[in-house]
């Protein structure tokens, strides 16, 4: 989105540009680039959307501080990184990759004279192209273990009529199971709600989720390493 395409009648875009102007006025020599990600970057923000602003600086501890607070009734999530650190992190693959990739691949710049955000996107795409299937499978196993443990605890709590606690753990189990699917299919999501919705896990009950976890365990085993095994397997790479 070009700067002249920004709809300043939208209170979130208006706030984002005000934030940009304040930051550039106060830290003009320290700031390398500024952009938004999330719903503003996708162009589908609503009255309940946040302003997710990322500021890229030349030096550590330079520029504004990261913050999370409401401004004029709108939640602002301000993150700050150096150019070097931002490029390093976008090349990392973690167990949270399905929830992290969107901010690397979908941004709308508000100030980026040297194309830093395009370089970040290219660096992340290059890393994905170089990644071996085993890397994603290993990260998926990590999430599967978390999903399975949360599911088992939820079942036990439900048996004890600890319904509220069981519901919390079921939400955790659904999310990690969704991340398993995202990693195995190299699919990234907008946020947690998008992850469980797009993977069909949003309405899964305990029995359904148990069956899904069983299927995922079989797929992970077929990919070269089971999710359960003897003690010696704990130390295998």
Domain boundaries along the sequence of the chain = 3-130, 133-225
Q: ∠ at Cα 79 (78, 81), nearest 5°?
A: 150
CATH no. for 3-130: 3.30.460.10
Pairing of strands 31-37, 108-111: antiparallel
pTM to 2 decimal places: 0.93
pLDDT at residue number 2: 47
Rounded percentage of the chain residues whose pLDDT exceeds 90: 89
Per-residue burial over 211-232, b = 16 or more CB atoms within 10 Å of its CB, e = otherwise: ebbeebbeebeebeeebeeeee
Mean of pLDDT values over 119-125:
98
pLDDT at residue number 46: 87
Residue 140 has pLDDT above 80, yes or no: yes
Residue 93 has pLDDT above 70, yes or no: yes
């Amino acid at each position: 989105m070009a700067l002249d395409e920004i709809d300043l009648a939208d209170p979130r875009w208006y706030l984002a540009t005000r934030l940009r102007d304040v930051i550039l006025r106060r830290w003009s020599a320290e700031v390398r680039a500024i952009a938004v990600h999330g719903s503003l970057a996708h162009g589908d923000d609503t009255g309940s959307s946040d302003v997710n602003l990322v500021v890229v600086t030349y030096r550590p501890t330079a520029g504004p501080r990261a913050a999370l607070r409401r401004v004029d009734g709108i939640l602002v999530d301000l993150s700050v990184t150096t150019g070097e650190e931002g490029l390093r992190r976008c090349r990392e693959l973690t167990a949270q990759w399905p929830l992290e990739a969107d901010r690397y691949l979908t941004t709308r710049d508000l100030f980026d004279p040297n194309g830093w955000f395009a370089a970040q996107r290219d660096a992340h795409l290059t890393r994905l192209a170089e990644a071996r299937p085993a890397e994603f499978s290993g990260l998926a196993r990590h999430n599967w273990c978390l999903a399975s443990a949360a599911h088992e605890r939820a079942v036990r709590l439900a048996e004890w009529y600890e319904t509220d606690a069981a519901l919390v753990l079921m939400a955790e189990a659904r999310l990690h199971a969704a991340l398993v699917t995202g990693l195995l299919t190299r699919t990234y999501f907008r946020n947690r709600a998008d992850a469980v919705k797009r993977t069909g896990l949003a309405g899964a009950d305990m029995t359904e989720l148990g069956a899904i976890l069983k299927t995922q365990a079989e797929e992970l085993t077929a990919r070269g390493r089971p999710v359960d095994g003897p003690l010696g397997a704990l130390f295998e790479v």
